[in-house]
Chain A
Amino acid sequence: MTQTVKNTILFAIIALMIIYTGFAQSWNSALLIIAMGLISSIMALGVNLQWGFAGLFNVGIMGFVALGGLAAVLVSMPPTEGAWSTGGFAIVGALLLGAGTVVAAVMLMKRMAPGMARTLAVIAVLVIGFFVFRAVLDPAVEAVEAINPAQSGYLGGLGLPVLISWPVGGLFAAGAAWLIGKTALGLRSDYLAIATLGIAEIIIAVLKNEDWMSRGVKNVIGLPRPVPYEIDLQNDPSFVERAAGLGFDPVDASTLWVKLLYIALFAVVLIVLLWMSQRALHSPWGRMLRAIRDNEVAAEAMGKDVTARHLQVFILGSAICGIAGAMMTTMDSQLTPGTYQPLRFTFLIWVMVIVGGSGNNFGAILGGFLIWFLWVQVEPMGLWLMNLITAGMSETSALKAHLIESAAHMRLLTMGMVLLLVLRFSPRGLIPER
């Protein structure tokens, strides 16, 4: 059996599982699995670029995804009435001041000769800069957050079409990745892991606390959509007529049609990114990256700039995660910082890449669909299993209640087990690198 046949069979099995879900549960959940599977695949592609091509360990995927979500809000929401004039410009000014302070400190660090004078100068610049920054920022933030806090209380966005936010989300993530990569690459591999773990936590903390930016834990809801609303479709006589012609009732037809449109949009993005990744993999650049991954010392001896290539690929991979994050927020049409959990957005993507086959783009996509499917289905399966185990116990047993209640935590355990088992017994994954 050739590799191609085997891969086709693997993808066919997943297609069958999703189709089975459609018949057994509902087509709505089947389509939702496909849509989220596409987004997961894109994230997995990004991580595969970093890990599979270059051997970089990124534990901060959650942060890059969240930055993409932030981009969706900042680009697509309408600007809040009066927010810019009361404090918006002051906030932007304060942020520029803050950035200027850091740049000034870095310049001093580079220009002045090492010694006591330099240390004092840098500290003085940072301290004074910080207080000026806070003095400008605080009143502005207060003014913005005071505007109708129940509904807005934030700056709002630019009011542009939401699709623009997808590349913008990529840019945001790329910026954060540049900052991290600049610091932690070129040192031990573990340091990148720890630095990315940190930046992810901090991005989430910023999203939760900076109410002027995206309302914090009050959530931004009702983002504009790139596809029509269900209710408009149901009121559109020509759509109802066509749905009736196919034997659907209008409500079902409209929800399915909206999901299909999303799926089409996501599929386009996935195909473009996949094509680009494939080209990258088979280009001299891709070969160089793999050479670096397999033997850094030898690659360096050949005159390859290892740290610069690592920085490049780290930024590219993170940008892809940012794009996927913006897409996800677009589909949910809300940004809820409380839902960003490292398990769901970092660890799960890692399981996808490792199970699918690190170093192989098709593997990443396969892993994205397969693991997402399992993720959705493990909870009901766990509940079923628990019900089976506890079937013999009495209805009032405290142990039974505890076990059934704990079924929700089965996901963590299952995903951890899947990762360890694959790493141990099939480290090359389902579709190995060629």
Chain B
Amino acid sequence: MDLLNAFIALSNYVLIPGIAYGSQLALGALGVTLVYGILRFSNFAHGDTMAMGTMATILVTWLFQSMGLSLGFLPTALLALPFGIAFAILLLLGTDKVVYKFYREQKAKPVILVIVSLGVTFIYNGITRFIIGADDQNFLDGQRFIMSARDFKALTGLKEGLAFKTTQGITIVTAIIVVALLFWFLNKTRAGKSMRAYSDNEDLALLSGINPERVVMITWMIVAALATIAGTLYGLDKSFKPFTYFQLLLPIFASAIVGGLGSPVGAIAGGFVIAFSEVTITYAWKKVLGYVMPEGLQPDGLVQLMSTDYKFAVSFVILLIVLLIKPTGLFKGKSV
């Protein structure tokens, strides 16, 4: 019974939050990795693209809420998500036309594009704060739990409760659908294949008649969708605050690099590696160990390896280790 309780406590505090956070990171890292594969630079504006897309989604959600539209027990934000994606697509295509295209035609060094993307970051950040403000925004509605801790206890008679938030369920389901769609697109459609070809060998792709501008356009559209979905899921699960999205850059980049920049499978694996490391290292293990350890050996302290304030340090250390030992990442990215 104790083992079962330990497992439930572990699921409640580590596994389920870890899977949800991992899915959000994976979606974010997919966006970074796609830009890297096709446009060949690290897009520092990705965090703020997520913030912009989420902001558009939030504004439409508020509009729907004031009109009385809702999805019943699901959050209204899901209904607003397509509008947020559409906005993000327009935004990224516009930015590409005004900013990035010039440097692409000049064949500028990647590091110049990184600086440019940093400039774009701050413009996005400024616009986001200008429109919606710098504070926390809550836009979650609908039913809060698929299963609350109390219901679970009543159902099973166990001492530990297992809470499953609606947002966690939505995150996991959406992530599975999005990733499946993305891989189907990359592997089965003509446009997806031309994207992979362009990423593998630019010259050969050009030679076989692939239109680079079209590839770039499709990439930005996919990236916009991924960023908005990742941002909205994160915002629903936690909360929306523009600065948090800028800070998400570090775990997202860490995920993409750990998996191997340019490799979509790697981005997903990296997202979960980073998420689980962060959650397990900053989780206080007292409860779980209390069930598992024999009588008398149970810990007195919290058994928390690091305080939650250092969760960025965890992704950073993993990033450093990967850079030291295997700079191409777990799935052989195209970097170094």
Contacts and interface: CB of A to CB of B under 8 A. Distances in A.
Nearest to A341: B243
Describe A's contact surface by its main secondary structure: helix
Given A412-B123, A413-B130, A190 B114 contact: yes
A420 B312 contact: no
Interface string A184-206: 10011111011101110110010
A162 interface: no
Contacts of B250: 194, 197-198, 201
Interface in A197-256: 197-199, 201-202, 205, 208-209
A342 B111 contact: no
Contact of A199 (B119, B120, B125, B316): B316
A121 to B, nearest CB: 15
Contacts of B115: 57, 350, 354, 419, 423
B319 A195 contact: yes
A69 interface: no
A414 to B, nearest CB: 8
A408 to B, nearest CB: 8
A380 interface: no
A183 interface: yes
Interface in B11-50: 41-42, 44
B327 A202 contact: no
Given A350-B118, A423-B115, A198 B126 contact: no
Contacts of A205: 309-310, 312-313
A191 B323 CA distance: 8
Nearest to B316: A198
B42 A193 contact: yes
B323 A184 contact: yes
A423 B118 CA distance: 12
A342 B246 contact: yes
Contacts of A195: 316, 319-320, 323
Interface in A308-366: 342-343, 347, 350, 354
A134 B250 CA distance: 26
A84 interface: no
Interface residues of A, number: 43
A220 B193 CA distance: 58
B335 A188 contact: yes
Contact of B307 (A55, A194, A209): A209
Contact of A412 (B122, B305, B313): B122
B21 to A, nearest CB: 18
B316 A202 contact: yes
A197 B312 CA distance: 11
B217 to A, nearest CB: 21
Contacts of A193: 42, 44, 111, 114
A144 B118 CA distance: 41
Interface string B98-114: 01001000000111101
Contacts of A194: 42, 250, 253-254, 257, 319
A18 interface: no
Contacts of A130: 305
Interface in A391-426: 405-406, 409-417, 419-420, 423-424
Nearest to B122: A416
A130 B320 CA distance: 18
A409 B130 CA distance: 6
Nearest to A184: B323
Contact of B123 (A57, A188, A201, A416): A416
B329 to A, nearest CB: 11
Given A195-B320, A342-B246, A409-B129, A59 B313 contact: no
B116 interface: yes
A235 B111 CA distance: 56
Given A183-B323, A194-B253, A416-B119, A57 B102 contact: no
Contacts of B116: 420, 423
Given A410-B126, A412-B129, A420 B246 contact: no
Contact of A423 (B112, B127, B249, B253): B112
Contacts of B99: 420, 424
Contacts of A424: 99, 102
Interface in A49-93: 55, 57, 59
Contacts of B148: none
B324 interface: yes
A183 B320 contact: yes
B35 to A, nearest CB: 11
B65 interface: no
Nearest to A414: B126
B323 A423 contact: no
Given A191-B323, A416-B126, 11 more contacts: A184-B323, A193-B111, A193-B114, A195-B316, A202-B312, A208-B309, A209-B309, A410-B126, A412-B126, A420-B120, A423-B115
19 contacts: A57-B115, A130-B305, A188-B110, A197-B249, A198-B315, A198-B316, A202-B310, A343-B125, A350-B118, A405-B133, A410-B130, A412-B129, A413-B127, A416-B120, A417-B123, A419-B122, A420-B123, A423-B115, A423-B119
- 6 closest A-B pairs (Cβ-Cβ)? A412-B126, A413-B126, A416-B122, A416-B123, A190-B42, A198-B316
